[in-house]
Amino acid sequence: MANVWLVTGSGNGLGRTITEQALSAGNSVVATTRKPEQLDDLVARYGDKIRTVRHDVTSEEECQAAVQAALEAFGRVDVLVNNAGYGDVRPFEQTPAEDFRKLVETCLFGTVNMTRAVLPVMRNQRSGHIFQISSIGGRVAFAGNASYHAAKWGVGGFAEAIAQEAAPFGVVATTIEPGGMRTGFGTTATKDIELLPDYEPSVGQVMAMLGQSFGHEAGDPEKVAKLLLVLAEQTALPPHIVLGRVGLETVKAVEGVRAATRDAWQAVGDWIDFDVTGELPPLPNRQA
């Protein structure tokens, strides 16, 4: 069945790949980007099946306009892909407040703005899929990515609440959390800065590791796009889906440590309740 897709951040990277795959499968797409001319070749190839919209997801008015453009062109919105976003790898101390806020406005509030704009449409339709494109960075954290993690952890919690709210009227909301993909993300995420020496053991190591992995990431964005086409036909999905072997193993390892830490600190945690008597239990030897 052909659907109407609305994909943000579709000018390049994963958004562009999703747009191409959706069109090639016979769907109609409203593709939003800051630079619509990046999609001229797709317009020439697919004609009336695609509409491009110049769009900044940090503007609530432009998000409403993007949804309205989809309604005017195709009469409905079946699938929203909140893909617009970017990274910023550097120490938090060396990240200007304006840059931190700008990233969160794009990666978190852009998702909020688009979801707010599309949800009434899908509620009236009694159907729809909302895919929040996040990453394993919404589950785990690495030094040098404070602003990105602040946004993506926020996306995960926001989207899980929306999934519960929207399920009764037929809307499926899922956060997609891939590991590294070959989308060129890393070239824009890294900053050419003079790292303060105290951050060399932490952020410096992460930057070096990322520098070696860029262009060699295991994740195939074309496969991710094809998977979304299949997921968009499902009537029920989990609120989070982790993708990629590296991503899955990373999340498993981190969540295993968290579970062990939780259990080790349970007696201390239980102690703060009114109905628990006695002295504060000894803290675990491992100060996690």
Handedness of CA 76, 81, 82, 84 (dihedral sign): negative
> What distance in Å separates the CA atoms of residue 253 and residue 130, rounded to the nearest whole number?
28
Handedness of CA 254, 259, 262, 267 (dihedral sign): negative
- Contacts of residue 178, defined as CB under 8 A and 6 or more positions apart, other chains included, come to 135, 136, 219, 224, 242, 243, 244, 247
Closest of 19, 6, 194, 211 to residue 91, by C-alpha: 194
Task: Kindly report the number of other CB atoms within 10 A of residue 35's CB atom.
Answer: 10
Active-site residue set? 134, 148, 152
Phi/psi at 96 (5° precision): -55, 145
